[in-house]
């Protein structure tokens, strides 16, 4: 084997594999309804695009400091004070090529071979693979629909060993949409402080949250937990800027600097004019987000309602993000049209795609076999048509 041990363990993203299959069908002229999308279906706002165009015209096209420009770091610090009640200085901020890149930098900066990183399942697809790439070991704690897909303090306490380095927290969560409340975060924070464990808090969906629920950052729960937390966020999801590749991390200066050193030898700076666009996104009126969230909420309510009326599928109402994580355990082991057996979430997703022309992501990708993930980052019209197809598909499962 010529590949390194670390890299040969990394699986390709299941999310991308299903999406690729759906795209191939579409290119053959087949009308596929996609519930696979992991990005908002809205355009980036004009004032953000204008800021990027201006930067280009003004010749802002060269290398910037590799950890990002001061003006964007300042805008991020203001955002943290305004929205999260956390005080950072520009030196405590690293701007990366997307939040994903910030997470990877953080894991590489903190994890040694054989360190343990606690993940909460269902988890975002990339966490376990990134942990593997560092040589550390992912310790997976399972949650389910009954407990709102949230980690309990007892579970966390039991999982901690002398090797535990880090907990990855993702609230609002992809794929479950669950949001941790303030007192829940406080309890988790206390356990982490007691165990001298770090927290990587992925808050990329903080703005996409419903029913008046409030997002809290675990780093705002006190000075001691702030000293152990790397907050990761970015402009991708809130501002429909997935392709611009701007994310950021904030945390203890020593860690942020180490992450910056690493970045300076890999990607160097995130794209110069995209950093200017990110300043425009963070510093201008935010009503675009409110409109998006209202639209998402309407789609969510419609979808949850209809899915729960379908025999064999059940789901809870997600509190944030733009996904529904639905339980399909009742279909496992059954047959579709008396022919194919539904073995697992992947065979469910494959059948749904080939037979009903509906793309979803199998729960397997998130460490949860009996579930599938629907994204409602698609038009209401598509949602209605897709659900009609799913209803019909489910009638043929015996
Ligand atoms: C989309 C997503 C990210 C990555 O965001 P980018 O800024 O586009 O890299 C990180 N975490 C979660 C949970 C996501 O769903």
More confident residue, 23 or 68: 68
Which CATH number, 1.10.357.10, 2.70.70.10, 3.30.70.380, 3.90.1150.10, labels domain 5-43+287-394? 3.90.1150.10
- φ and ψ of 380, to 5 deg: -55, -35
**Residue 124 Cβ contacting ligand 1 at under 6 Å:** yes
Beta bridge partners of residue 170, listed in sequence order: 202
Q: What is the pLDDT of residues 311-365, one digit of tens each?
A: 999 999 999 999 999 999 999 999 998 888 999 999 999 999 999 999 999 999 9
Q: Is residue 14 scored above 90 in pLDDT?
A: no
**Residue 242 Cβ contacting ligand 1 at under 6 Å:** yes
pTM for the model stands at 0.96
**Residue 13 Cβ contacting ligand 1 at under 6 Å:** no
Q: Is residue 398 scored above 80 in pLDDT?
A: no
Q: What is the mean pLDDT of the chain?
A: 96
Structure tokens at 183: 């007192």
269-282 mean pLDDT: 98
- pLDDT value at residue 81: 98
Question: Distance between CA atoms of 14 and 28, rounded to whole angstroms?
Answer: 22
- pLDDT value at residue 121: 97
Residue nearest to atom 5 of ligand 1 (CA): 99
Domain boundaries of the chain, sorted by first residue = 5-43+287-394, 46-283
**Residue 106 Cβ contacting ligand 1 at under 6 Å:** no
What share of the chain has pLDDT > 90, as a percent? 91
Question: Distance between CA atoms of 98 and 300, rounded to whole angstroms?
Answer: 26
Q: Separation of 225 CA from ligand 1 center, angstroms?
A: 23
Q: Is residue 294 scored above 80 in pLDDT?
A: yes
Q: Separation of 204 CA from ligand 1 center, angstroms?
A: 6
- pLDDT value at residue 6: 87
At 9, the pLDDT band (50, 70, 90 cuts) reads confident
At 62, the pLDDT band (50, 70, 90 cuts) reads very high
User: Is the Cβ–Cβ distance between 202 and 99 less than 8 Å?
Assistant: yes
Q: What is the pLDDT of residues 153-180, one digit of tens each?
A: 999 999 999 999 999 999 999 999 999 9
3-state secondary structure the chain: CCCCHHHHCCCCCHHHHHHHHHHHHHHCCCCCEECCCCCCCCCCCHHHHHHHHHHHHCCCCCCCCCCCCHHHHHHHHHHHHHHHCCCCCHHHEEEECCHHHHHHHHHHHHCCCCCEEEEEECCCCHHHHHHHHHCCEEEEEECCHHHCCCCCHHHHHHHCCCCEEEEEEECCCCCCCCCCCHHHHHHHHHHHHHHCCEEEEECCCCCCECCCCCCCCHHHHCHHHHCCEEEEEECCCCCCCHHHCCEEEECCHHHHHHHHHHHHCCCCCCCHHHHHHHHHHHHCCCHHHHHHHHHHHHHHHHHHHHHHCCCCCECCCCCECCEEEEECHHHCCCEECCCEECCCHHHHHHHHHHHHCEECEEHHHHCCCCEEEEECCCCHHHHHHHHHHHHHHHHCEC
User: Is the Cβ–Cβ distance between 93 and 249 less than 8 Å?
Assistant: yes
Q: Is residue 15 scored above 80 in pLDDT?
A: no
Among the listed ranges 253-257, 323-327, 338-342, 375-379, which one has the minimum average pLDDT value? 338-342
- pLDDT value at residue 20: 85
Atom index in ligand 1 nearest the CA of residue 100 equals 9
> Considering the domain 46-283 in this protein, what is its CATH number?
3.40.640.10
- φ and ψ of 95, to 5 deg: -100, 130
What count of Cα atoms within 13 Å lies in the side-chain half-sphere of residue 276? 18
**Residue 373 Cβ contacting ligand 1 at under 6 Å:** no
Return the ∠ at Cα 192 (arms to 190 and 195), rounded to 5°: 110
Cβ-Cβ contacts under 8 Å for 187 (sequence gap 6 or more): 153
Task: Assess whether the region 5-43+287-394 and the region 46-283 belong to the same CATH fold.
Answer: no
At 1, the pLDDT band (50, 70, 90 cuts) reads confident
Q: What is the pLDDT of residues 106-130, one digit of tens each?
A: 999 999 999 999 999 999 999 999 9
At 16, the pLDDT band (50, 70, 90 cuts) reads confident
Q: What is the pLDDT of residues 84-108, one digit of tens each?
A: 999 999 999 999 999 999 999 999 9
- pLDDT value at residue 99: 98
Cβ-Cβ contacts under 8 Å for 182 (sequence gap 6 or more): 214, 216, 221
**Residue 320 Cβ contacting ligand 1 at under 6 Å:** no
193-201 mean pLDDT: 98
- pLDDT value at residue 220: 98
Strands of 229-234's sheet in order across: 93-96, 247-250, 229-234, 198-202, 164-170, 116-121, 137-142
């Amino acid at each position: 084997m010529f590949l390194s041990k670390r890299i040969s363990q990394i699986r390709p993203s299941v999310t991308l594999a299903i999406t690729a299959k759906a795209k191939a069908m579409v290119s053959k002229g087949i009308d596929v309804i996609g519930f696979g999308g992991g990005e908002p279906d809205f355009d980036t706002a004009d004032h953000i695009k204008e800021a990027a165009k201006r930067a280009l015209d003004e010749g802002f096209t060269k290398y910037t400091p590799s950890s990002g420009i001061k003006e964007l770091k300042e805008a991020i610090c203001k955002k943290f004070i305004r929205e999260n009640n956390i005080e950072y200085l520009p030196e405590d901020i690293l701007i990366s090529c997307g939040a994903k890149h910030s997470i990877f930098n953080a894991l590489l900066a903190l994890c040694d071979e054989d360190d343990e990183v606690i993940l909460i399942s269902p988890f975002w697809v990339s966490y376990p693979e990134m942990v593997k790439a560092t040589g550390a070991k992912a310790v997976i704690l399972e949650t389910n629909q009954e407990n709102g897909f949230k980690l309990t303090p007892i579970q966390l306490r039991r999982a901690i060993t002398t090797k535990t380095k880090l907990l990855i927290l993702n609230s609002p969560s992809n794929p479950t949409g669950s949001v941790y409340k303030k007192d829940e975060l406080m309890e988790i924070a206390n356990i982490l402080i007691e165990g001298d464990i770090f927290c990587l808090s992925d808050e990329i969906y903080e703005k996409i949250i419903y029913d008046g629920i409030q997002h809290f950052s675990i780093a705002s729960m006190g000075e001691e937990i702030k000293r152990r937390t790397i907050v990761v966020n970015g402009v991708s999801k809130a501002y429909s800027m997935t392709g611009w590749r701007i994310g950021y991390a904030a945390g203890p200066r020593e860690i942020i600097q180490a992450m910056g050193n690493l970045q300076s030898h890999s990607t160097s700076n995130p794209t110069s004019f995209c950093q200017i666009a990110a300043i425009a996104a963070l510093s201008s009126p935010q009503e675009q987000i409110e409109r998006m969230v209202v639209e998402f909420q309407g789609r969510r309510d419609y979808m949850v309602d209809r899915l729960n009326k379908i025999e064999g599928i059940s789901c809870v109402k997600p509190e944030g993000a733009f996904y529904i994580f639905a339980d399909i355990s009742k279909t496992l082991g059954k047959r579709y049209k008396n022919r194919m057996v539904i073995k697992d979430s992947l065979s469910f997703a494959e059948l749904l795609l080939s037979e009903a022309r509906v793309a979803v992501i199998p729960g397997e990708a998130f460490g949860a076999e009996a579930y599938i993930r629907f994204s409602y980052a698609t038009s209401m019209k598509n949602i209605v048509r897709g659900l009609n197809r799913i209803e019909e598909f489910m009638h043929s499962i015996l």
